[in-house]
Structure 1
Amino acid sequence: MLVSVVALAALAPSVARAQTAPRPPDRQWGSWAIGTAVLPGGPKGWGGYFELQARSNALLREFFYNEIKGGVSYNVTDNFTVLLGIGRYSTADYRDLSEGYLALERRVWQQYTFTQPVGRIKLEHRFRVEQRWTRFRDDVVPVNQARYRGRQRYRLSAVLPLNNPTMQPGTAFLSVYNEVFLDPRGPYFERNRAYAGAGVQLNRGVTVQDAWLNQVDWLPARAQAGTGQFIARGRQYKNNLVLSVVYRIARAKAEDKPAPFTPFQAD
């Protein structure tokens, strides 16, 4: 519990700064649509997930970004899980999608997740180490090369069931998290995400959730192209409406009962 309180206290200033940061030129809200299929860990501990995600520059229109990713997980204990993931991330110009991607990233990551009950609330501490290879449409580097960057992420999540003491079919819940992104090459504090949502577990297999997500990006200091003028490090943020559906795949054998389900966001 002490660890959780300290972590929340450390992250709180980041969230506060996010609310006072200047808006980017585009003042519209964006939206994220997320569909996830989860195979919960069984008696032998092995599980996994697959996810499709699309993001738009405005509410449910001007889509410019998509993700295809998945991972294999192993439950070391009831409250500690490791995962190896891989994904493809594509960014385009929503005004002319026929031109193809502006940036295409392939990513591999290793993830370590700890869960912690505090009364009816369940906390999740998630640590992720990423290896990222990105190509840009106008790159002059050889086709068989890509720009590499590493990154580390930490996310603290909390889920509170409202009308039942634990998660079960028909349970409404609240969900919040804050996540920080750290880049070892700088700017070291790269990004912050703050999330607050509500949802319901419709049945044993399907959970739906709607949420607000605020993303803040810290931009590195740089020289302006053409003029050479120095631009100091800045930041920009955007609010997003997140719509997510999770389908929990049932195992074939009745004895392969997964651990109790908590609707933490897979990403």
Structure 2
Amino acid sequence: MINKKILMLFLLISAEPCYSQSAFREGQGMWLMFFNRTQLTEKWSIHSEIQDRAYDLSHKNEQLLIRAGMNYHLKKNLWLTGGYGYIESYSLAGDQLPTVSEHRVWQQGLYYHNLGRLFIEHRGRLEQRFVGDNYRDRVRYRLMINIPLNKSSMQANTVFISTYNEIFYHLEKNPYDRNRFYTAVGYQFNKAVNLQTGWLAQDFNGKTKGYLQLALFANLFLDGS
């Protein structure tokens, strides 16, 4: 079992040196993110998020992403989701109006499990993207690991490390779209709220750029759980 843990951590963390040097050459962007899951019943919950993405630390607009979906909990550790996203992208010149608007329909599956103190999430996502006048299909896979540092599990008052790698492919002749590697430190205040700050390296169009990230996760439990 310990060998599996070491291998999984190595596969994720070893990606970082491949990105870090080239990412800093491209400058640093910033993502501010808010995520919410509202639990309606034992089987149903609503996902919502907003992400404000900037080209640089002065917060020059790069992209605004708003996404929502409905989760169906097949099991405690297996969820299916369908939803919609709206994305505005802005030019590097700093124009106030978006240069491209995208409407996105998406479906995903989430599977959670743990190996000792490693809390692992597998996420597969399909996207139907209406980008301006174009249509594109995309598939994504993300492997994420959360590691509590001062507790044995992800519970109230837990300091943790979060890391993931996600790869994107279009269903086209040249399928590769991008890859993201993320690492962060977070604090789980209680069952509903955690805050994370970290760094993401995104490989896209032959270049890798780094983004500082701040993410707030704040959930609601209307089912009384």
**TM-score scaled by structure 2?**
0.88
The secondary structure found in structure 1 opposite 2:171 is coil
Aligned to 2:45: 47
Q: How does 1:142-221 map to 2 (within 5 A)?
A: 146-217=133-204, 219=205
Contact residue 12 and residue 163 of structure 2 kept, 8 A: no
- Structure 1 residues 186 and 214, CA gap change in structure 2 (3 angstroms): farther
Contact residue 33 and residue 214 of structure 2 kept, 8 A: yes
Contact residue 41 and residue 73 of structure 1 kept, 8 A: no
Aligned to 1:77: 75
Aligned to 2:114: 117
Contact residue 28 and residue 211 of structure 2 kept, 8 A: yes
- Structure 1 residues 3 and 129, CA gap change in structure 2 (3 angstroms): farther
1:64 paired residue among 62, 68, 92: 62
**Separation in 1, partners of 2:44, 2:62:** 34
**Separation in 2, partners of 1:4, 1:185:** 35
- Structure 1 residues 132 and 56, CA gap change in structure 2 (3 angstroms): same
The Cα offsets for residues 135-189 of structure 1, whole Å up to 9 and x where unpaired, read as: 1xxxxxxxxxx21000100100000111111222211111000000011214322
**Separation in 2, partners of 1:118, 1:34:** 28
**Separation in 2, partners of 1:13, 1:204:** 31
The AA in structure 1 aligned to 2:115 is V
Larger radius of gyration: 1
User: Over the residues paired in the alignment, what is the CA RMSD in angstroms?
Assistant: 2.6
Aligned to 1:225: none
Aligned to 1:30: 29
Segments of structure 2 that go 5 or more residues without pairing to the other structure are: none
Aligned residues: 224
* Alpha-carbon offset, residue 71 of structure 1: 0.7
The secondary structure found in structure 1 opposite 2:174 is coil
1:105 paired residue among 102, 105, 122: 102
**TM-score scaled by structure 1?**
0.75
**Separation in 2, partners of 1:37, 1:12:** 27
**Separation in 2, partners of 1:10, 1:117:** 17
Segments of structure 1 that go 5 or more residues without pairing to the other structure are: 136-145, 220-234, 258-267
Question: Which structure: greater strand fraction?
Answer: 2
Aligned to 2:88: 90
Aligned to 2:215: 244
The AA in structure 2 aligned to 1:181 is F
**Separation in 1, partners of 2:161, 2:79:** 23
**Separation in 1, partners of 2:88, 2:5:** 34
* Alpha-carbon offset, residue 109 of structure 1: 0.8
The secondary structure found in structure 2 opposite 1:97 is coil
**Separation in 1, partners of 2:76, 2:141:** 20
The AA in structure 1 aligned to 2:88 is S
The AA in structure 1 aligned to 2:68 is G
- Structure 1 residues 22 and 37, CA gap change in structure 2 (3 angstroms): closer
The secondary structure found in structure 1 opposite 2:152 is coil
The Cα offsets for residues 80-107 of structure 1, whole Å up to 9 and x where unpaired, read as: 1100021001011254433x11111110
